[in-house]
Amino acid sequence: MGCKDGQQTSYPDSWAHRSFQTPLKGDPLYQDSYESLGRIACYPDVVYSVDRSSATVEVKCRTQETVTSVVYSYNGAAFVSDNTFKADKSFSDVLHIVVSDGGDFKVTLEDVDFMWNAPKINQSSVYENGQKGAIVELFGWPYEDVEQECAHIAKAGWMGVKVFPPSEQVMSDEWPQQGELNPWWFIYQVVSYKLSGRMGTRDQLRKMINTCRAAGVRVYADAVINHMTGGGNDRWDYHIAGNCATWGPKSSSGGSPFYTHDFMDHNSNQTHDRPGLEYPSVPYNPTDFHCERSLNSWTDPFILNHGWLVGLADLNTEKDYVRERIASYLVDLISIGFSGFRIDAAKHIYPASLAAILRKFKDKLGGGELPDDFITFLEVIIGGEASLLMCQDNDYNFGKNFEDKMRAAGLSDNDIMKVKIWSSDYPKEFPICGYWAIPAERLAVENDCHDDQNPGSSSRDMGDKGSVLIKDRDVNKHRAFEVQLFTRTEANWKIKLVLSSYSFMNNGAAGFPDGRSDCSKCTGTHCGDCSKSMKYSKAYDADACGYTCSVNGQWMEGVYTRVHRDQDIINAMRQWQGLGQANSLSEIGLPEHCANIKEATS
């Protein structure tokens, strides 16, 4: 059900009827986690006062046409008709909300956190209140392991740690994908904005953030706001492709229902209409998406914004409701204790739409300046389309044009300095225009990133100016480029990122080593298709040194790399940060035997 012509950008308003497709209790496809999402779909919208010492929570709902009234229960109290709840700093718990039609239909919303409940972060002034520092990206690390690792991260001097998308995402233990069970890229297929992802529950996430903040470590999220799941990755019980290949439903990390319209040859039992794009736990319905079209041009702004990136359901970010809902999600990230976030696939959202979303985000945080320690960095991969995206003046330019759009939307100069662009032209092609199109202080730089690891990845060209560890399998080469990240003097970059990932298996298995991509965990009748198994490996190891993917010169499969524990990289980072070189390994949280490991790999 793609676009009917080249000018159509969204689905007709009448397609809102193609929602509330979730089966109700008594239906053979019903699951307890669905509750009454076939009738009521809501989310809590938190708006803070200017000083952020109080907040109003407004419950916003969409209801099926037969539902005539809605009532609300806050923290187990009796149901009331008021859809708002007011809290201040004396409220030291999370807020639980249940919504009902006054009868049998009920839905439990995601818990609401308030930013004043997160522990205060105590860091040296050299971090400039979160505006200058190095951030470790722990790719594939469960929250419980990140929490354990934060003591070392603090001692080493890293400003923060970034985790990957915390939102609810696609999972499937029954349907291997190209031989893999739960491939890593499933985490970028969003089911809802509930913070119940593969790496842990909302409670585990909150506990990790609180532990890290108390240790003096900031935590950053990866926010996926451009799209939802891929077409055909949904809860429908049966799909069929043109070649007669068939498959069943996917599940999710949080138990929510979700539906697409692709590969369906029958109507919905609930609406008696053709299937529609629907994510009830958000909630989104078909009118909140761009109509389906291929993203087949990287230099056409219309296609970049409206196309479905690798077949992922593309959100209509020009629509006010979608902007509101995204801004509310970003506020939830701050409320639970994140200090900021990366915005995935930002170049597929009009700069004017991103500016409008950031303004709504700012307003929901009280309308004053963005938090002092806040930063966001946008994934805007710039290659052959550099003229469009950065160098030439146009409405799809993420340089000066985007600054102007943010300023026009109501962001201050201080706010704009906190909005960084991830510098894909580093380390080979910077500055991509031959001059600094925006101040280097507004760029975030990195050697290898998680996308670079993928076989055939062309996300950027580093040539011989950088190194992708798990492709090159050369520890000394990679270490040298990570050290160089902190010793370069060409520009005053303020945010620097270091990827700490895991090695893939020699047969191509690339799922996280958290046990969820182990073929032995496959269930159902298609497990014979699972040929690329990733064994379990514990992420946290108090006795680990850097580069545990190489032992006595031998490359190890399916293990965490722990690049952030390398003493040379740590000391280079500390010098750049203004902390000074450590006098001992224990001072930076490493065991003494790491000195011997370093000698063996030098």
Domain shared by 112 and 134, yes or no: no
Asked whether residue 376 carries a pLDDT value surpassing 90, the answer given is: yes
pLDDT, tens digit, 9 for 90 and up, residues 478-520: 999 999 999 999 999 999 999 999 999 999 999 999 999 999 9
Task: Tell me what pLDDT residue 186 has.
Answer: 97
Task: Tell me what pLDDT residue 402 has.
Answer: 98
User: At residue 121, what is the residue type?
Assistant: I
Domain shared by 326 and 471, yes or no: yes
Query: Which residue in the list 180, 379, 514, 518 is annotated as catalytic?
Result: 379
Angle value at C-alpha 405, between 296 and 390, nearest 5 degrees: 50
What is the mean pLDDT of the segment spanning 369-377? 97
Please report whether residue 267 resides in a domain.
no
Domain shared by 65 and 150, yes or no: no
Domain shared by 113 and 129, yes or no: no
Q: Pick the last residue of a domain from 117, 142, 175.
A: 117
Please report whether residue 8 resides in a domain.
no
Q: Which residues, in sequence order, are CB contacts of 553 under 8 Å at separation 6+?
A: 600, 601
Q: What share of the chain is helix, strand, coil (3-state, %, to 5)?
A: 30, 20, 50
Spatial CA neighbour of 428 closest among 346, 484, 476: 484
Task: Tell me what pLDDT residue 338 has.
Answer: 98
Q: How many CA atoms lie within 13 A of 406 on its CB side?
A: 22
Percent of the chain with pLDDT over 70: 99
Please report whether residue 263 resides in a domain.
no
- What value does the mean pLDDT of the chain take? 95
What is the mean pLDDT of the segment spanning 338-344? 98
Range of the domain at 506: 125-231+287-601
pLDDT, tens digit, 9 for 90 and up, residues 549-574: 999 999 999 999 999 999 999 999 99
Q: How many CA atoms lie within 13 A of 485 on its CB side?
A: 31
Domain shared by 368 and 401, yes or no: yes
Q: How far apart are CA 440 and CA 578, in angstroms?
A: 19
128 is catalytic: no
Q: Pick the last residue of a domain from 117, 134, 168.
A: 117
Asked whether residue 459 carries a pLDDT value surpassing 70, the answer given is: no
Which ranges of 120-259 would DSSP assign to H, the alpha helix?
Answer: 143-156, 202-215
Please report whether residue 265 resides in a domain.
no
- 279: phi then psi, degrees, rounded to nearest 5: -130, 85
Task: Tell me what pLDDT residue 276 has.
Answer: 93
Task: Tell me what pLDDT residue 601 has.
Answer: 55
Give the CATH number of the domain where residue 84 resides: 2.60.40.10
Task: Tell me what pLDDT residue 602 has.
Answer: 52
Please report whether residue 43 resides in a domain.
yes
Asked whether residue 600 carries a pLDDT value surpassing 60, the answer given is: no
| DSSP, res 503 | P
Domain shared by 134 and 74, yes or no: no
Domain shared by 62 and 131, yes or no: no
What is the mean pLDDT of the segment spanning 365-389? 95
Q: How far apart are CA 174 and CA 521, in angstroms?
A: 9
Domain count, the chain: 2
Please report whether residue 400 resides in a domain.
yes
Task: Tell me what pLDDT residue 461 has.
Answer: 79
> For residues 372 and 383, which has the higher predicted lDDT (pLDDT)?
372
Domain shared by 97 and 150, yes or no: no
Domain shared by 61 and 203, yes or no: no
In the numeric block, the tokens 């201080």 are attached to 414
Judged on CB neighbours under 10 Å (0-12, 13-18, 19+), 521 is middle
Q: Pick the last residue of a domain from 95, 117, 139.
A: 117
Please report whether residue 3 resides in a domain.
no
Left if phi > 0, otherwise alpha if psi is -120 to 50, otherwise beta: which for 107?
Answer: beta
137 is catalytic: no
Task: Tell me what pLDDT residue 242 has.
Answer: 78
Domain shared by 415 and 465, yes or no: yes
Asked whether residue 146 carries a pLDDT value surpassing 90, the answer given is: yes
pLDDT, tens digit, 9 for 90 and up, residues 394-439: 999 999 999 999 999 999 999 999 999 999 999 999 999 999 999 9
Query: Which residue in the list 292, 344, 373, 518 is annotated as catalytic?
Result: 344
Domain shared by 111 and 140, yes or no: no
Q: Report yes or no: 228 and 250 within 8 Å, Cβ to Cβ.
A: no
Domain shared by 138 and 113, yes or no: no
User: What is the torsional sign of CA 569, 575, 579, 584?
Assistant: positive
Task: Tell me what pLDDT residue 458 has.
Answer: 60
What is the mean pLDDT of the segment spanning 327-343? 98
